[in-house]
Amino acid sequence: MQAILSLTSERKLTIKEYRPSRYGFRTVEISGGACCRNEFLAAELFLRKSRQVLQVMKKSVGLIVFFWLLLAAAAGVRAEAVLFGTLGVTGDDGRFVPGSMIRVYLVREKIPCPRLSSRAPAGLARLEWIEKVNDAHLAFFKAFRQKAARKGFIVAETVTSRSGTFTFRGLAPGTYYVVVTFPAMIRCKKVTWQVPVKIPAGGYSFVHLDSSNLALPVGQR
């Protein structure tokens, strides 16, 4: 609302109040004949103060909306978590061998996995054991591909660095599985992982994939 004051030649107080409508200006005249100067100044001061109050209110509403949006954005950023991980196996010499340039998946559901002992059963020939392990790796890979065909099963995927590290960012809270499958290999040995991780709202989480939590024994070529 915009108000315009004017003192006419007949000393009548005229208040023109503008409203954004098809009627344009609406003129309101104070009745009672001549208007004294003090009344005019009092009315002008009143309208001026009113405009100042409206301006302060507009600024206050703007600041409130701004801080509300800022807090909402901050809450949204904090709700997205980050998962850091490392990947590697223990070599024959007992040293940790990082898995470099290996694709890592973050999925929503557990994949059916054949159960095998970490070592060959007694009485089983070495070649038979190697074939059994390789068949298990292939079976897990096929099960993974079947689930991966469904939309939304794979939440994210990445590739490890040369030092075997990887990162998933912008995660919603929940339970996931970190999966590594065929054709992942470290020093010519097939590796498969399926490790559950629970991601809290905001903050950082960490997972370590090593020889102790392999889903299957390492496979041979």
Q: What is the CA radius of gyration of the chain?
A: 37
Q: Which of 178, 135, 138 is nearest to 155 (CA)?
A: 178
pLDDT of 13 > 60? The answer is no
- Give the model's pLDDT for residue 203: 85
How would residue 18 be classed by pLDDT, with cut points 50, 70 and 90?
very low
Q: Structure tokens of 100?
A: 């470099």
In the chain, % of residues over pLDDT 90: 51
Domains detected in the chain: 2-78 (no CATH), 80-220 (2.60.40.10)
- Give the model's pLDDT for residue 42: 54
How would residue 185 be classed by pLDDT, with cut points 50, 70 and 90?
very high
- Give the model's pLDDT for residue 67: 53
- Give the model's pLDDT for residue 202: 83
pLDDT digits (tens, 9 = 90+) for 67-125: 555 555 554 445 689 999 999 999 889 999 999 999 999 999 999 999 888 788 887 88
- Give the model's pLDDT for residue 121: 83
Specify the pairing of strand 96-98 against strand 81-90.
antiparallel
Q: Structure tokens of 174?
A: 């929940």
Phi, psi of 156 (to 5 degrees): -160, 160
Question: If you write DSSP's letter for every residue of 36-91 in order, what string do you get?
Answer: -HHHHHHHHHHHHHHHHHHHHHHHHHHHHHHHHHHHHHHHHHHHSEEEEEEEEEE-
Cα-based angle 201, 143, 163 (whole degrees, multiple of 5): 55
